A and B are shown apart, each in its own frame.
Chain A
């Protein structure tokens, strides 16, 4: 028999307060179907657009778009603002490095690994490691190449460290800046589905340089063929990461501009690799001026050694 109280109208608190009062109560939630923004483009889709879904990372791009707005709320003069750029765990950094060394064909590095959480740890320390690796490997390789020659005296060549640092940090920060400015300018003229923030571009460039670290160590081997094979191999790997990242951002544009942009990205990347190899590593087979041997019949014979 219901009491008079049970029949009276009761005000129910909202779910949060009720749940706080009774944490173990079972809950049922009914969600409204979420409007997925990219489906609004569906009636404009060409067959080639399916790969954009893969490249955009369909699963939680909505969530990340929402979360992205909530992340960097501290003003830029506080320390907490910069801490948001270092909000990565060890396994995340290792995952991103793995993604840059083994690029999955068709998968976009930014959408797959960065996911609106660009970090500055990776780019900064990968560049620092690369600077010292190139300087040390170059020094070691020159030492082994010239070892045994009577006129050779080992020098540490410390000045090259600052040159390496300037080059690599300039590449890793100025090229993304230029690329970001260019993409923003094109975005104002042509509506692009995909656009990247400056930090995401810095992130991609920084992680794509990782493959050069083992390459630089292997460049100690004083064989021209080996060095060029290594160079082409690492260029392909890191170049493919960059191409798969930036092709969706320019494909909507004028065909010529899109191809020119991607070609410039690859050209600058190749220039960096070739420049480092040429400047820091001496050529393996040098023709040293050989001693002049006076032959018995008075003529001198100059021998050339390989």
Chain B
């Protein structure tokens, strides 16, 4: 129960990203795991003529998120960041939450139809959530970086969330 409360508190922290050390100090990977699994599940069921042309498979989404988060963490540590490995994974994983919400919204919008209007709505929602994710993770991670290398650390985070947003936006149902 205590762990569940801690996870819930972190979700709230991501929703209102103020610089707080609670997210960094008591890291846990439950939240990222739940978010990653639900995002990967929601990205299933896309249409494809052949298996080669469709959207990402479950394992591909999983690998992209976890491998991408590990690479970004290694990158920030190699550039001289002072944050620990698992703390950084924790932050990056929790900040996927706005994009998971965007995926949920996209699937609901796609239930109503798949025309141009629905595409514009999805584009706006995914774009806004992408900005929110990037800003939230930057707010948490920026202080642990050396000052003249902040842009070098923020850019891979931007690329990471951009790729996830692209996967969400290009999801087309059967």
Using a CB–CB cutoff of 8 Å, the interface residues on chain A facing chain B are 79, 82-83, 85-86, 88-91, 93, 121, 125, 128-129, 132, 136, 139, 153-159
Contact = CB atoms under 8 A, between A and B. Distances in A.
A93 B170 CA distance: 32
B47 A86 contact: no
B52 interface: yes
Interface of B: 46-49, 52-56, 60, 75, 77-80, 148-152, 155-156, 159, 162-163, 166-167, 170-172
B103 to A, nearest CB: 14
B167 A90 contact: no
A158 B50 CA distance: 12
Given A86-B78, A158-B60, 20 more contacts: A82-B78, A83-B78, A85-B78, A88-B149, A90-B151, A121-B75, A125-B159, A128-B159, A129-B159, A132-B159, A132-B166, A136-B166, A153-B172, A155-B47, A156-B53, A157-B53, A158-B55, A158-B56, A158-B167, A159-B52
Contacts of B155: 125
Contacts of B46: 156
Contacts of B60: 158
15 contacts: A86-B78, A89-B148, A89-B149, A90-B148, A93-B152, A121-B79, A132-B163, A132-B166, A155-B49, A156-B56, A156-B167, A156-B170, A156-B171, A158-B55, A159-B53
Main secondary structure of the interface of A (DSSP, over half): helix
Nearest to B68: A128
Contacts of B152: 88-90, 93, 121
A156 B148 contact: no
B148 A91 contact: yes
Contacts of A139: 170
Nearest to B48: A155
Nearest to B61: A158
Most buried by A among B60, B155, B166: B166
